[in-house]
């Protein structure tokens, strides 16, 4: 049975940074949408959630200290359930610890860069008197925040990989979470527990070709629920014979289970790939005269927060031998233009990740297009001459996405 929070003794703290003072950190407009949308769901009286005064929204905190104080004040007041949500840029700090960016975070090595260490969130959760604790992280490297005495939902693996489609109202994880909580699950329970939501998250994100979340602290923690299921029909509860309740076609159910299982396997494989620069990529790179840094070297590098660029060049143009050279040259030229515009030209990159979009049926060609662009970038652009490189397929679309980690 799902455990519903006591609204009068619970708190939700929603923190997100969408604009940054540093030119080295790309703004994240979708984060502002995340905060508005998630707060709207959590405080909707029809869903039986929290009073507005118990859902604290801190948008674009000016400093790590401001965010830390808000977290600790609310954590100390929560007695039944405490939810902490954080969205924005995440990056590696000393000893590989996850640091969370705020409005004044620079691109220098944390903590000098002004970011908030994940250990501060852990400490707030640990010392809270709340009986139930939930942490949701929607940022790069969010998988490094899993060692917490709480139910934890993260948007990405411990490796530097996270992606949301450009131009969307929400980030991938949070937008899907809001959609599930707002629209409900027709075959789900009366209250939407995290155990129920997580399976639906996997299915929806996998079907869209987006990066998959991870959860920690399952068991009783997975039965925590924040809202009612708006699609729940009491007449189809446990007292109704199974034969009386409508069921999805068996074939559709099988395909759904297969897609979810495939997505989980793919996520595990992707985590391994991201942890180490894959041998599959390294071998062709060496034949082409490339020298990407080994995985061990990447782990030991002091890397900045990721700088993200979207380049509207079709991966299909890279795959076509007749247009390949022109398309790759256009990609590199636009990358250099965006680096110059953000005053990052001349800095040395430690890691560059290239993502090529494409339909789920075109994963192989998209992977190859990303690899071709990566190889050309490492060979021809001096900024990336000593960088490690990784190439991946991402969701549907017709563009390339770049995430660049500079040496601090």
Lowest-confidence pick of 42-51, 145-154, 157-166:
157-166
CA dist 358 and 344 (Å) reads 29
- pLDDT at 289 (0 to 100): 32
CA dist 317 and 326 (Å) reads 9
Q: Is the pLDDT of residue 237 over 60?
A: no
- pLDDT at 218 (0 to 100): 52
pLDDT digits 0-9 by tens, 330-380: 999 999 888 887 788 778 888 888 888 887 677 788 889 999 999 999 998
- pLDDT at 241 (0 to 100): 32
pLDDT digits 0-9 by tens, 151-202: 888 886 555 445 555 667 888 889 889 988 988 887 778 888 888 888 888 8
Task: Taking the CA atoms of 149, 154, 156 and 162 in sequence, report the sign of the dihedral they define.
Answer: negative
- pLDDT at 62 (0 to 100): 87
Contact 67, 115 (CB under 8 A): no
Q: Average pLDDT of 45-52?
A: 84
Q: Is the pLDDT of residue 212 over 50?
A: yes
Q: Is the pLDDT of residue 143 over 80?
A: no
- pLDDT at 141 (0 to 100): 76
What b/e readout covers 291-309, taking b as 16+ CB neighbours within 10 angstroms? Answer: ebbebeebeebebbbbbbb
Lowest-confidence pick of 100-109, 262-271, 284-293, 331-340:
284-293
- pLDDT at 390 (0 to 100): 82
* Strand blocks (E) in 232-348: 307-311
Q: Is the pLDDT of residue 27 over 60?
A: yes
CA dist 303 and 241 (Å) reads 58
More confident call, 56 vs 238: 56
Q: Is the pLDDT of residue 13 over 90?
A: yes
Q: What is the mean pLDDT of the chain?
A: 76
pLDDT digits 0-9 by tens, 99-128: 888 887 765 555 446 788 888 988 999 899
Q: Average pLDDT of 142-156?
A: 74
In 3D space, the residue among 137, 114, 14, 16 whose CA is nearest the CA of residue 63 turns out to be 114
Residues of the chain above pLDDT 90, percent: 24
Contact 105, 81 (CB under 8 A): no
Q: Is the pLDDT of residue 45 over 50?
A: yes
The sheet with strand 116-117 has its strands ordered as: 90-92, 98-100, 116-117
């Amino acid at each position: 049975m799902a455990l519903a929070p006591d609204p009068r003794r619970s708190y939700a703290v929603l923190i997100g940074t969408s604009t940054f003072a540093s030119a080295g950190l790309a703004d994240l407009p979708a984060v502002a949408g995340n905060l508005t949308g998630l707060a709207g769901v959590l405080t909707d009286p029809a869903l039986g959630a929290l009073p507005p005064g118990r859902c604290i929204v801190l948008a674009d905190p000016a400093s790590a200290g401001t965010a830390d104080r808000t977290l600790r004040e609310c954590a100390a007041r929560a007695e039944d359930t405490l939810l902490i949500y954080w969205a924005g840029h995440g990056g590696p700090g000393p000893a590989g610890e996850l640091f969370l960016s705020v409005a004044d975070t620079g691109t220098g090595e944390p903590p000098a860069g002004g970011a908030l260490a994940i250990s501060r969130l852990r400490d707030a959760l640990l010392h809270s008197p709340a009986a139930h604790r939930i942490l949701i992280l929607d940022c790069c490297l969010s998988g490094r925040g899993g060692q917490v005495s709480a139910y934890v939902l993260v948007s990405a693996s411990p490796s530097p990989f996270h992606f949301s489609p450009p131009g969307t109202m929400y980030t991938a994880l949070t937008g899907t979470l809001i959609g599930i909580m707002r629209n409900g699950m027709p075959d789900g329970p009366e209250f939407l527990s995290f155990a129920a939501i997580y399976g639906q998250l996997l299915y929806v994100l996998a079907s869209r070709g987006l990066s998959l979340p991870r959860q920690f602290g399952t068991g009783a923690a997975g039965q925590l629920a924040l809202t009612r299921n708006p699609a729940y029909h009491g007449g189809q509860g446990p007292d109704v014979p199974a034969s009386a309740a409508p069921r999805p076609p068996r074939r559709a159910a099988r395909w759904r289970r297969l897609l979810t299982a495939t997505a989980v396997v793919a996520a595990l494989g992707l985590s391994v790939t991201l942890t180490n620069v894959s041998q599959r990529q390294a071998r062709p790179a060496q034949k082409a005269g490339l020298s990407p840094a080994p995985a061990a070297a990447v782990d030991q590098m002091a890397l900045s927060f990721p700088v993200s660029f979207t380049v509207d060049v079709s991966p299909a143009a890279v795959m076509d031998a007749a247009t390949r050279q022109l398309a790759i040259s256009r990609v590199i030229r636009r990358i250099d233009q965006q680096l110059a515009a953000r005053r990052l030209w001349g800095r040395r990159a430690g890691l560059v990740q290239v993502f090529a979009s494409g339909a789920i049926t075109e994963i192989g060609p998209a992977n190859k297009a990303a690899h071709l662009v990566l190889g050309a970038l490492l060979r021809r652009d001096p900024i990336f001459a000593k960088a490690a490189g990784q190439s991946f397929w991402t969701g549907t679309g017709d563009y390339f996405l770049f995430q660049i980690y500079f040496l601090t």
